Amino acid sequence: MSDMKVKDLADNIGITPDRLVEQLNEAGVTVSKATDSITEEQKQTLLSFLQARHGKESGNTISKPKKITLKRKSTSEIKLGASSRQGGKTVSVEVRKKRTYIKRSAAEEAEAEAQLQREKEAEQKAIADAKAEKLRLEEEAKQQQEQEQREREELDAKEAARAEAAVEDAVEAEKQAEKEAHQAAEEEKKALAAEAKEKAKKSTKKAVNTTKLTASEIAHKKLEEADAKRREANLARLEAERALKARKKAREEEAVLEKQRAKEKAEAEAEAKKHKEVRKERDAAAAKTKENDKPAAGAGRRAGRNTRTDKFERAELHITQGKGRRKKKKGRGAAQAPVIETSSEHGFTLPTEPVVRDVDVPETISVSDLALRMSVKAAEVIKALMGLGTMATINQVLDQDTAVIVVEEMGHNPKPVQDNAIEIALEVSDENLAEAMPRAPVVTVMGHVDHGKTSLLDYIRSTKVTSGEAGGITQHIGAYKVETSRGEITFLDTPGHAAFTEMRQRGAKVTDIVVLVVAADDGVMPQTIEAVKHAKEAGALLIIAVNKMDKEEANPDRVKTELGNHDVIPEDWGGDVPFVAVSALTGKGVDDLLDTISLQAEMLELKAPSEGVAKGTVIEARLDKGRGTIVTVLVQSGTLKKGDIVVVGQEYGRVRALFNENSETLKAAGPSTPVELLGLSGTPASGDELQVVSDERKAREIANFRKTKARDLKMAKQQAAKLDDMFNKMESGDVKTLNVVVKADVHGSAEAVSQSLLNLSTDLVKVRIVASGVGGINETDAQLAGASDAILIGFNVRADNTARRIIAEKGLDVQYFSIIYDLIDVVTSAMTGMLDDVYKDEIIGLARVDEVFSSPKFGDIAGCLVTEGTIKRTSPIRVLRDNVVIFEGELESLRRFKDDVDEVKSGVECGIGVKGYTDVKPGDQIEVFERVLVKPAL
């Protein structure tokens, strides 16, 4: 390259000419101004100078780096929350690693080697000192142990010598005692002999001193003393020998135990030495790896940090090692970090026996709450539920019965509790302490459909209620208070159709006397028997009214006989049930019936408080477009006034108006009075109890509590998807479902229609009530029917304009009924139309195989005689042997003599070739059948 000026070079490298002139002069290149020229060698000199200034090697244009930083990034995914089957949340985790390597100079390498050598020598010296100290301590321990052993042996020797000396002394004493006893025995013998001689000589002489001991007695006493000494010496010898044996045995056991302890200690030391060698090898390998990968100090935030290099090395949890990420303030007042000693032993101790808890189980409880009360994981509760045949989630609500079974299954003690403190407080606050006064009897008229219940009540009230009922049958409970010459009587008229069982049951529960109407020409029917059952369960008195006595075919004795078969015994047969013959058409016997009712009421002595807060029962409820919810209530105690705050089931409100059965306004209603009231927040269920409360806040609180409780119970029952049901569905195959939305004029009718439709369900077609309610068909009902593919049924109600528009747009099926007979017939026809076609095998001919012969064209041919029906070549066949089907297929040929024919009639011989089957034998039967379409039925 040619020479260039300083100014041009400055422009190329991006600095000012004056600065470049200064650097050139510092590098030893003499220039004075920017217009001077410099050579290539001078430029190289400047470059070497600058490299040396900045710590780089000179002489090379491209210098080698002394520090290398490696960066590594890895990404992985983990799943959180739910199980893999349900999906769950996926989180991406990114791990970044940074490691810096610095190339040391020769001097630094030498210094590092020297430092490492010094550390190694210091470590070896410390190890040698530790070994020497250990040897010294072991020697001292050994000497001390030997000293203790010698002292113990000396002590044992002294004890053994004392024991042996005691034994020898005892033996010597025993010998001495035996010797003395022997001498005493000899002396006694000599004394006795001497006394005998002396006695013979002086037998005639009188004894002078009778109290002086004789020689034989003295000798005998010495003998006894000698025997006692001998026995004592013998016992002492035995005791000494026993003590000596016990000491020897204890010394032997101590020696065996000492050997065992020494053996265990040696094994423990060998095991510790082995572990120490393994750990030493592992530490050496880890140190080598650490030395190879060790980053330079200060080369990053993590460069000088104490980190674990062995992934299998044990580390204590929750203890900070070294410095953390956050800088700590340093100063003279900084406290020294405490030394934390940890133990390698586990802190968990396995329970010796299972813990049994007393678990409070409310009416509804979620799976997670139940697990918390039992101190177990929710997964264990779900597993127990699956074992019981129920699939559940952690948030699913269980009813009390299911929860009790789960708690018992898991080994705890369930304690069912009732969350009804507010209900108990209501009962206590509403106790009526007023004086009980006589009240009118409540009489329920029951019986089979078309037996004349309403007509009889009609005559008593002198009205024409029957003509106003659709189809001439009662379809809801009518409540009337009738003034008679014998006082007031409250009548309840119940439906007699089978669909209205719930209504009849409610009527029987609130009544005092049941008048069972039985047609004299029809006798006892199913609803008659059911009414008897309801009356007995309610504990009401029973009166039988044998109606339609004006007809020629009336037979009251038949009625008595049939009812007698159901434990209803007439009074004239010795029973306690009065039978009254009446005619609702002519009025015959009605006065006798009223007399009987009055007599029974007097016997019951019916009383109720006429003052104080009112209580009653809902007989019927309906929704009126103009006036809202209208509830028919039978007041049972107290006085219900206009303006009272009432709670009725899950609804509450202020009584805005009261009406009697004639739609006349009332200000108050006493016991046994049926009234219609306005002002509730919604439509209550029939049979709900009415209670008057002190203020609206309390009423709202009670109603909301009941709604929440009912909703939780409903959810608990709906959410339980049982495995048994799933298996039944799998086994039964495709079951058709007819979805229905029911709307009716009153709550009781909606309930009866829904129950009747559910009872129509079979194994082939199920009826599912999507929704049922009171009032006309509105937009919500139409939208629900469209979403669930359901048919709309209106019982004594119609659709409004908005609902009719939606029904027309979506082409929904809507049916209006006023008689429940027609409703059941139409729905049954719809269910039948949903069934698939059914084919049935119909046998059309039977032939007996007499002979089998071979044909070169068709193979084996069965020579047969047609015994029944007709054999057709195009029909399928079955081959029977001993009346058991062994083959099913079709004919290949059918011949009469040598001619092919299409059919052969009974009594004619023919040849039959079975397609694909060659095992036909004489005596078999060939059955010919056809598959015919059969109209399906429920």
Q: Which of 154-163, 334-343, 917-926 tops mean pLDDT?
A: 917-926
In this predicted structure, the answer to whether residue 183 has a pLDDT above a threshold of 70 is yes
Distance of CA 683 to the CA centre of its chain: 35
Is 397 within 8 Å of 366 (Cβ atoms)? yes
Q: Which of 62-71, 253-262, 609-618, 719-728 tops mean pLDDT?
A: 609-618
H/E stretch holding 17 reads helix 17-26
pLDDT at 526: 82
Within 10 A of 840 (CB to CB), how many other CB atoms are there?
10
H/E stretch holding 246 reads helix 215-293
In this predicted structure, the answer to whether residue 494 has a pLDDT above a threshold of 60 is yes
Is 465 within 8 Å of 478 (Cβ atoms)? yes
Q: What is the pTM of this model?
A: 0.45
Q: Which residues pair with 881 in a beta bridge?
A: 884
Phi-psi region of 361 (alpha: psi -120 to 50; beta: other; left: phi over 0): beta
Phi-psi region of 387 (alpha: psi -120 to 50; beta: other; left: phi over 0): alpha
Q: What is the mean pLDDT of residues 818-833?
A: 86
pLDDT at 844: 92
d(CA 799, CA 778): 6
d(CA 913, CA 859): 8
* 929: helix, strand or coil: strand
Q: What is the mean pLDDT of residues 823-843?
A: 84
Mean pLDDT, the chain, whole residue set: 78
Q: What is the mean pLDDT of residues 705-733?
A: 64
In this predicted structure, the answer to whether residue 128 has a pLDDT above a threshold of 70 is yes
Is 476 within 8 Å of 746 (Cβ atoms)? yes
Interval 670-693: pLDDT, tens: 898 889 999 998 888 888 889 998
In this predicted structure, the answer to whether residue 723 has a pLDDT above a threshold of 60 is no
Interval 431-444: pLDDT, tens: 656 678 888 888 88
DSSP classification of residue 671: T
Q: How far is CA 68 from CA 64, 101, 292, in A?
A: 10, 5, 15
- The beta-strand segments (E) located in 442-512 are 442-447, 478-484, 487-493
Q: What is the mean pLDDT of residues 175-187?
A: 77
d(CA 408, CA 459): 60
- Higher confidence at residue 48 or residue 353? 48
Structure-block tokens of residue 643: 């303006």
pLDDT at 27: 83
pLDDT at 472: 45
pLDDT at 152: 80
In this predicted structure, the answer to whether residue 206 has a pLDDT above a threshold of 60 is no
Is 634 within 8 Å of 623 (Cβ atoms)? no
In this predicted structure, the answer to whether residue 142 has a pLDDT above a threshold of 50 is yes
d(CA 243, CA 166): 10
Interval 341-374: pLDDT, tens: 444 555 556 556 678 889 988 888 889 999 999 9
Provide the percentage of residues in the chain whose pLDDT is more than 70: 80
In this predicted structure, the answer to whether residue 147 has a pLDDT above a threshold of 50 is yes
In this predicted structure, the answer to whether residue 501 has a pLDDT above a threshold of 60 is no
pLDDT at 848: 94
Q: What is the mean pLDDT of residues 507-520?
A: 80
- Higher confidence at residue 746 or residue 177? 746
Is 929 within 8 Å of 876 (Cβ atoms)? yes
d(CA 460, CA 468): 17
Structure-block tokens of residue 20: 């470049």
Is 849 within 8 Å of 925 (Cβ atoms)? yes
* 746: helix, strand or coil: strand
Q: What is the mean pLDDT of residues 184-188?
A: 74
pLDDT at 725: 55
Provide the percentage of residues in the chain whose pLDDT is more than 90: 13
Is 673 within 8 Å of 481 (Cβ atoms)? yes
Q: How far is CA 932 from CA 315, 838, 843, 880, 935, in A?
A: 82, 8, 10, 22, 10
Is 84 within 8 Å of 56 (Cβ atoms)? no
Of the pLDDT bands very low, low, confident and very high (cuts 50, 70, 90), residue 656 is very high
d(CA 729, CA 735): 8
What ranges in 818-927 are assigned the alpha helix state H? 820-833
Q: What is the mean pLDDT of residues 398-412?
A: 90
In this predicted structure, the answer to whether residue 57 has a pLDDT above a threshold of 50 is no
d(CA 147, CA 136): 16
DSSP classification of residue 338: P
Interval 436-478: pLDDT, tens: 888 888 888 888 877 888 788 888 877 434 444 444 444 444 7
Range of weakest confidence among 463-472, 591-600, 687-696, 866-875: 463-472
- Higher confidence at residue 548 or residue 240? 548
Residue with tokens 């040929």: 893
Of the pLDDT bands very low, low, confident and very high (cuts 50, 70, 90), residue 334 is very low
Structure-block tokens of residue 327: 């800088």
Structure-block tokens of residue 310: 């062995």
d(CA 311, CA 573): 99
- The beta-strand segments (E) located in 752-883 are 765-774, 791-795, 814-817, 838-855, 859-872, 876-881
pLDDT at 473: 45
Is 699 within 8 Å of 646 (Cβ atoms)? yes
Contact residues for 524 (Cβ-Cβ < 8 A; gap 6+): 518, 559, 562, 563, 566
Q: What are the φ/ψ torsions at residue 195 (nearest 5 degrees)? A: -65, -40
Of the pLDDT bands very low, low, confident and very high (cuts 50, 70, 90), residue 927 is very high
* 319: helix, strand or coil: coil
d(CA 127, CA 108): 28
In this predicted structure, the answer to whether residue 338 has a pLDDT above a threshold of 70 is no
pLDDT at 300: 42
pLDDT at 299: 42
pLDDT at 475: 44
Of the pLDDT bands very low, low, confident and very high (cuts 50, 70, 90), residue 340 is very low
Q: How far is CA 248 from CA 159, 161, 164, 167, 171, in A?
A: 10, 12, 12, 14, 20
Q: What is the mean pLDDT of residues 564-589?
A: 87
Within 10 A of 865 (CB to CB), how many other CB atoms are there?
14
pLDDT at 330: 46
Q: What is the mean pLDDT of residues 845-859?
A: 86
Of the pLDDT bands very low, low, confident and very high (cuts 50, 70, 90), residue 251 is confident
In this predicted structure, the answer to whether residue 864 has a pLDDT above a threshold of 90 is yes
Is 492 within 8 Å of 443 (Cβ atoms)? yes
Q: Which residues pair with 517 in a beta bridge?
A: 447, 545
Of the pLDDT bands very low, low, confident and very high (cuts 50, 70, 90), residue 495 is low
- Higher confidence at residue 265 or residue 643? 643
Burial of 359-388, coded b for 16+ CB within 10 Å and e otherwise, reads: bebbbbbbbbbbbebbeeebeebbebbeee
- Output helix, strand, coil percentages for the chain, rounded to the nearest 5: 40, 25, 30
H/E stretch holding 750 reads helix 747-759
In this predicted structure, the answer to whether residue 514 has a pLDDT above a threshold of 50 is yes
Within 10 A of 419 (CB to CB), how many other CB atoms are there?
13
Structure-block tokens of residue 859: 């193979």
State the helix-helix crossing angle for 801-810 and 779-788, rounded to 10 degrees: 20
